[in-house]
Amino acid sequence: MEKKIVKEAVHFLEKFTNERRKDLLDKNIENRTRYITVVLEDIFQPQNASAVMRSCDCFGIQDLHVIENHNEFHLNPDVVMGSSKWVNLHQYNQEKQNTNAAISKLRKQGYRIVATSPHRNDILLPDFDLSKGKAAFFFGTELTGLSDEVMKNADEFVKIPMYGFTESFNISVSAALVLSHLTTALRQSHVNWQLSDHEKFELKLDWLLKSVRSGSELLNEFLKKNKH
């Protein structure tokens, strides 16, 4: 949809919601980012995957990428708490090797591939350099971690500082800790982490369609009457 039409559609649908809802949408859009994104590889426990999606919404991460090589992605409604309505889900399940497909797509979008896994060349999370550009953080399965494909193709390796006997965090806890640190650091930095103006309008249109009763029908009628 052309930029002009997107803006006009947003202004049209805003007429069918109240000021409180519009203010809430605007506030959350201003805090959304695609500068960092999350990638889950073969997560088999629905409650963990759902908790990660919920964390993405809470920390303003707009996109969640899910690789399904062996395990299908399922949401737990009791855990996700409606966050799936506001976070864009990208699923990779059409290829023989979906991990490589995800890595290729993210690289084309300008993301660094970052493996969250202990490695001989890893750095601690507080030392991660956000100024070097966009980054996609990969999280692996609860039992075996990230695949060899991710480890071979990763540009960087990051680990969370730990001071106890246990060697790792639960996957959903790991994602929450990483996102908490990174989103706080982004907001304190000079990095241009926010969405572009056009992305903001596109996202607001999507959210309005989900918020306004009969939003899709109203939009279709609007587009028919305003063909350019």
**Shortest CA distance to 154 belongs to which of 35, 71, 42, 41?**
41
Q: What is the DSSP letter of 196?
A: P
Distances (CA, A) of 87 to 33, 37, 148, 168, 226: 11, 11, 28, 27, 29
Domain chopping of the chain, boundaries? 1-32+194-218, 33-192
What the block records as the tokens of 72 is 């299908």
Compute the distance between CA of residue 54 and CA of residue 86 in angstroms, rounded to an integer. Answer: 10
Please provide the average confidence, as pLDDT, over all residues in the chain.
91
Compute the distance between CA of residue 212 and CA of residue 79 in angstroms, rounded to an integer. Answer: 24
pLDDT in tens, 14-31: 999 999 999 999 999 999
| Contact call for residues 98 and 92 (beta carbons, < 8 A) | yes
47 pLDDT higher than 60: yes
pLDDT in tens, 158-204: 999 888 888 778 889 999 999 999 999 999 999 999 999 999 999 99
Compute the distance between CA of residue 41 and CA of residue 103 in angstroms, rounded to an integer. Answer: 11
pLDDT at 122: 86
pLDDT in tens, 130-165: 999 999 999 988 777 899 999 999 999 999 988 888
Distances (CA, A) of 120 to 62, 133, 175: 31, 23, 21
| Contact call for residues 85 and 210 (beta carbons, < 8 A) | yes
C-alpha atoms less than 13 angstroms from C-alpha of 102 in its C-beta half-sphere: 34
Q: Give me the mean pLDDT over the 34-39 stretch.
A: 98
78 pLDDT higher than 80: no
Q: Tell me the CATH class for 33-192.
A: alpha beta
pLDDT at 228: 55
pLDDT in tens, 61-75: 999 999 998 878 877
pLDDT at 224: 85
Q: Give me the mean pLDDT over the 46-60 stretch.
A: 91
Compute the distance between CA of residue 119 and CA of residue 184 in angstroms, rounded to an integer. Answer: 25
| Contact call for residues 98 and 153 (beta carbons, < 8 A) | no
β-sheet bridge partners, residue 41? 67
pLDDT in tens, 103-128: 999 999 999 999 998 777 789 999 99
